Amino acid sequence: MNNRGFLINIKEFFTSAQTLKVLAFLTFTLIITAIISSQNFFFQSIIENGISKKDIIAQKTFTVVDVKRTEQHKKEVAQKVDYVLTPAEDDFIKTNLETLENSILQIRKKDAQESVKREELSLLFDISNKERKDFVIYFLLKSEDSDLHEAFDKANLTLANILRTGITEKDYEKNNIDKIITDNLISNVSKRQVSVIKGLLDQVIVPNLVVDEFATEIAKKNAENSVKPYEITIHKGDKIVFEGEPVTRLKRDALRQAGYNVYELNWQGLLAIYVLVSICTLIFLSYMKFFEKQFLEPRYMTISAVLSILLSAIAVVLPTGFSPYVLPIPAYVLILAIFTAPRVAFVAMTILLTVLTIGVQYDAHFLITFILLSLVSMVTISRIRYSRRFDLIKAGCIISISGLIILFSIYMLEKCLIDVSNLLIMKNSGFILLNGIISSMIALGTLPLFESTFQIITPYGLAELADHNQPLLKRLQIEAPGTYHHSLMVSNLCEAAAEAIGANPILARVGAFYHDIGKLKRPLFFVENQSYFGIENPHTKLNPRLSKMVITAHPKDGVELAKEYHLPSIITNFILQHHGEGLAKYFYNQAVQEEGIENVKEEQFRYTGPKPNMKETAILMIADAVESAVRSLKNPTPEEIDNIIDKIIVERLNDAQLADSPLTLHDIKVIASTFSRILRGMQHNRIKYQENIVEEFSKNKIKMPAKLLDEDLENKIAQLEEHHTDEGKNNTDGN
């Protein structure tokens, strides 16, 4: 017993919903990790521990870039680039010279001993050459005012020349100030003035050119980009590596060009890829949980996983060096958007692109191009009409043109910075141009396969089911015409209401077409068909309980027919839920009258359900009852229509039939308003025409105004008058 109980616990554990979710997560992440990592294990068959295991001969002629040598040359060129200098603020240098001159003039004017003045002037000048310092101080104290001002003026002019030329930090550090002043002296300067000018300017000059780090970095990058890569040509038949030879970076690149996979992935790398895949998967699941909860069902998650696995496998099996722009990424977005929603497809594709770019070593161009193209695909697929399959091919053309523009723009921008091969641009542009069109064809061709495999109805499938030439709808037209007409009226109501509240109008319309197909089993037991065939109501000969069994069986009968005709499960929801667990009130009341209320329970006269759990099926429940009720009235007024709608909705709410549906009170209000508007249009008053309008005109001697009749219409009326006269004669003769 203990062993049996243990086994039962184990079985329950592995079959619980939470455990299945964890197992599904682990299975998916391990499969994706295995696919991405599989390419790296081929490395072991060629190289082991960095040593070639065999001679490898080139099967074609190709060129490989010596990256190491090219990078070394780029560094050398960059180091030779001079710093880019930019002028700094130099007004403060001129201000310092003016301040120095004013200080000198104030000391000259002081009423003090000459020794005191010399001491103060010596504090202003930091001149290493004592003889020059003594001469400058002597000149500043003893020279005439005119000579002094002349020296000051020439010093200012010389300073302007120096600042215009510029002084760098390098010049300043090398103590080249004396030479800079000499080179920038103005003409007509005496030897005495030269020493004074140098003494003055030496105290105020500082660097006015600073290094522009950003511009210097750009200059170095431009210099590096101007370096042409060192290329080595390997001819067909040459040995790329010899057995036992260490495989350098150049040899690895040559092997990759030859079509070999040379990535060596250890267990640490495998773990890193698995962690990346797991994190990205969790991000996608979190997005679905918070923003797209309706698509968290296993079938939607399964198709997302299958598409991701297929695309990853295609990416891995592509030959090394082959353009990744042939990957059918737009097909992934189109298919997933049709089965779920465009937003879901875009998020899933963006996350998968991140994993592939890192795992398969694609460049940034690939990631940027296809993220933008996925966004275009999302917008394009959200705007197509699903009633026409060719619109999907048009969407593919739009995606192709958009992809070409995006990729070409990126290449043109890159071409401004580095040299890009025109052949590479043309090749990848051609691939991406074909990619969108081919992807739309792939999506169009595989949709039926995915629909049948995952039992998910797409808008295209719904459009096919809406065709009135479908076998089941044809049977409904012939065998139960009243039910068919009722279904058409209800479908109009459901479609309009679903569109008004943001539900799926196509699904609501198609579900309404098929909701009563169960009546095909016993069409004459339903009142809408009895009047068409002109038969007596068979329920008059049955007791209420038996009639209830016949009537409430039509949802179950409809499910059986749906299975027989392979209708999708979502349509089955409409068949089962359109009455919910509602009461067959007519037969219940009839039973109460015949048996007494104490002998009749409501539960015995209810439909088996379940209650509507979708917006669309809840709309159908209300529309089904409203249309039947309004049709039973003769020329109802707008007020009567509104009263019937409100009464039916209140009854369904009080009976808790809408408790499981996601409809809000606001949705119900909008639905009631939409039904009222459409039913008023259906029930508009019509003018009662006379049986013979010509006879009435003749009897009352009324002539039609000439302006209201064109010549052809007057001729037709004249012919009708003649025919009426001849018919009267014939009738007279016959009588």
- Which residue, among 559, 573, 464, has the nearest Cα to 512 in the 3D structure? 573
* Helical segments of 596-691, H only: 615-631, 638-654, 665-682
Maximum average pLDDT range among 222-226, 283-287, 686-690: 283-287
Q: Match 């027989």 to its residue by tokens.
A: 564
Maximum average pLDDT range among 352-366, 440-454, 659-673, 713-727: 659-673
Q: Match 């979502």 to its residue by tokens.
A: 570
Stretch 708-719: mean pLDDT: 46
Q: With cut-offs at 50, 70 and 90, classify the pLDDT of residue 11.
A: low
Per-residue pLDDT tens digits for 426-467: 999 999 999 999 999 999 999 989 988 888 888 888 888 998
Q: With cut-offs at 50, 70 and 90, classify the pLDDT of residue 274.
A: very high
Residue 175 has pLDDT above 80, yes or no: no
Residue 140 has pLDDT above 50, yes or no: yes
- Which residue, among 142, 117, 121, 126, has the nearest Cα to 192 in the 3D structure? 142
Stretch 325-341: mean pLDDT: 94
Residues 646 and 672 sit within 8 Å (Cβ to Cβ): yes
User: What is the reported pLDDT for 19?
Assistant: 85
DSSP result, 122-159: HHH---S-HHHHHHHHHHHHHS-HHHHHHHHHHHHHHH
Stretch 305-309: mean pLDDT: 96
Q: With cut-offs at 50, 70 and 90, classify the pLDDT of residue 624.
A: very high
C-alpha to C-alpha distance for 684 and 92, rounded to whole angstroms:
91
User: What is the reported pLDDT for 42?
Assistant: 52
The token pair at 97 is 């010279």
Residue 289 has pLDDT above 80, yes or no: yes
Strand partners, 87: 209
Of 139-148, 364-373, 548-557, the range with the lowest mean pLDDT is 139-148
User: Which comes out higher in pLDDT, residue 656 or 61?
Assistant: 656
User: What is the reported pLDDT for 261?
Assistant: 59
Q: Among residues of the chain, what percentage have pLDDT more than 90?
A: 41
Mean pLDDT score of the chain, rounded to an integer? 82
Domains of the chain (ranges; CATH) run 51-64+242-257 (no CATH), 85-211 (no CATH), 267-456 (1.10.1760), 470-682 (1.10.3210), 693-734 (no CATH)
Residue 731 has pLDDT above 50, yes or no: no
Residues 571 and 511 sit within 8 Å (Cβ to Cβ): yes
Q: If DSSP codes are grouped into helix, strand and coil, which group holds residue 614?
A: coil
Task: Print burial letters for 7-41: b (CB count within 10 Å at least 16), e (below 16).
Answer: eeeeeeeeeeeeeeeeeebeebbebbbbbbbebbe
Residue 313 has pLDDT above 80, yes or no: yes
Q: Can the peptide bond before residue 505 be classed as cis, meaning omega within 30 degrees of 0?
A: no
* Helical segments of 455-526, H only: 459-465, 471-479, 481-501, 505-514
Straight-line distance from the first to the last Cα atom of the chain, in angstroms, rounded to the nearest whole number: 101
Q: With cut-offs at 50, 70 and 90, classify the pLDDT of residue 1.
A: very low
The number of CA neighbours under 13 Å toward the Cβ of 162 is 32
User: What is the reported pLDDT for 40?
Assistant: 64
User: What is the reported pLDDT for 12?
Assistant: 60
Number of DSSP helices (H) and strands (E) in the chain, helices first: 33, 8
The token pair at 260 is 């070999």
Residues 607 and 552 sit within 8 Å (Cβ to Cβ): yes
User: What is the reported pLDDT for 32?
Assistant: 95
Q: Match 């005439």 to its residue by tokens.
A: 144
Contacts of 358 (CB under 8 A, 6+ apart): 276
C-alpha to C-alpha distance for 335 and 396, rounded to whole angstroms:
12
C-alpha to C-alpha distance for 429 and 407, rounded to whole angstroms:
7
E-only strand ranges, 504-582: none
Per-residue pLDDT tens digits for 498-510: 999 999 999 999 9
Stretch 613-640: mean pLDDT: 93
C-alpha to C-alpha distance for 382 and 380, rounded to whole angstroms:
5
C-alpha to C-alpha distance for 383 and 399, rounded to whole angstroms:
13
E-only strand ranges, 202-344: 209-211, 231-234, 239-241
Per-residue pLDDT tens digits for 563-606: 999 898 899 999 999 999 999 998 999 999 988 888 899 999 99
Residues 312 and 423 sit within 8 Å (Cβ to Cβ): no
The token pair at 33 is 């990790």
Residue 319 has pLDDT above 50, yes or no: yes
524 residue type, one letter: L
User: What is the reported pLDDT for 266?
Assistant: 64
